[in-house]
């Protein structure tokens, strides 16, 4: 660790650093809120529904063990369990007994869930383009990629083992 890095890690953020941080967080929250609102208005799916369906759409056979799904969407198991129950009631997913471990269950995207996901994806991706991509130049998009990679590297390095 360099002296500058050591000094930075021991002192509170400066007023300018806090202003930048707050701007980043508030903008990210507003972007997420607008995307979530449009997703719900245009598809009747919540951002949580879409997140779960996206993870299942990328999984082999559109199915994942509950524990793997919780990890894929980065949710606590209890939150996922409650959300799955609601999605199951709407016919978007179902739970099947796990073929390799009779104690576990797999969450499976239904055909109705797959159709809802496909229908939601077009307007959702259009909103991502309008609210995020089109607001930035190609150079700024590259900077965002660099910044998020740096943040991810730092977070991964400081994650508890």
Query: Which of 39, 98, 38 has the alpha carbon at shortest distance from 63?
Result: 98
- Residue 106: is it exposed, middle or buried by C-beta count within 10 angstroms (0-12/13-18/19+)? buried
| Cα–Cα distance, 86 to 24 (Å, whole number) | 32
Q: Is the pTM value of this prediction over 0.85?
A: no
| Domains located in the chain, CATH noted | 45-122 (1.10.10.10)
* 4-34: pLDDT as tens digits: 555 556 689 999 999 999 999 999 999 999 9
User: Which whole number is the average pLDDT over 31-40?
Assistant: 97
Whether the Cβ atoms of residue 42 and residue 119 lie closer than 8 Å to each other: no
Q: If pLDDT is split at 50, 70 and 90, which confidence band does 105 have?
A: confident
pLDDT at 97: 82
Which two structure tokens, joined as six digits, stand for 32?
Answer: 């997420």
Which two structure tokens, joined as six digits, stand for 30?
Answer: 């507003």
pLDDT at 7: 56
* 69-96: pLDDT as tens digits: 999 999 998 999 999 999 999 999 999 9
| Cα–Cα distance, 122 to 63 (Å, whole number) | 22
| Cα–Cα distance, 72 to 52 (Å, whole number) | 9
Contacts of residue 69, defined as CB under 8 A and 6 or more positions apart, other chains included, come to 52, 55, 56, 80, 107
pLDDT at 159: 83
User: First-to-last CA distance in the chain?
Assistant: 20
| Cα–Cα distance, 71 to 80 (Å, whole number) | 10
Give the sheet arrangement for strand 105-109, strand by strand. Answer: 63-65, 105-109, 93-97
| Cα–Cα distance, 145 to 152 (Å, whole number) | 10
pLDDT at 123: 96
């Amino acid at each position: 660790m360099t002296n500058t890095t050591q000094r930075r890690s021991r002192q509170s953020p400066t007023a300018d650093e806090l202003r930048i941080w707050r701007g980043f967080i508030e903008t990210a929250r507003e972007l997420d809120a607008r995307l979530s609102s449009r997703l719900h208005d245009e598809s009747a799916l919540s951002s949580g529904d879409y997140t779960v369906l996206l993870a299942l759409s990328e999984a082999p056979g559109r199915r994942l063990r509950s524990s793997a799904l919780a990890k894929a969407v980065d949710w606590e198991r209890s939150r996922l369990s409650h959300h799955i129950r609601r999605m199951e009631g709407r016919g978007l997913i179902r739970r099947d007994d796990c073929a390799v471990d009779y104690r576990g269950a797999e969450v499976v995207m239904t055909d109705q869930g797959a159709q809802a996901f496909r229908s939601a994806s077009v307007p959702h991706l259009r909103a991502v383009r309008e609210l995020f991509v089109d607001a930035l130049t190609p150079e700024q998009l590259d900077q965002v990629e660099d910044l998020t990679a740096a943040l991810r590297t730092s977070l991964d390095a400081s994650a508890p083992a």
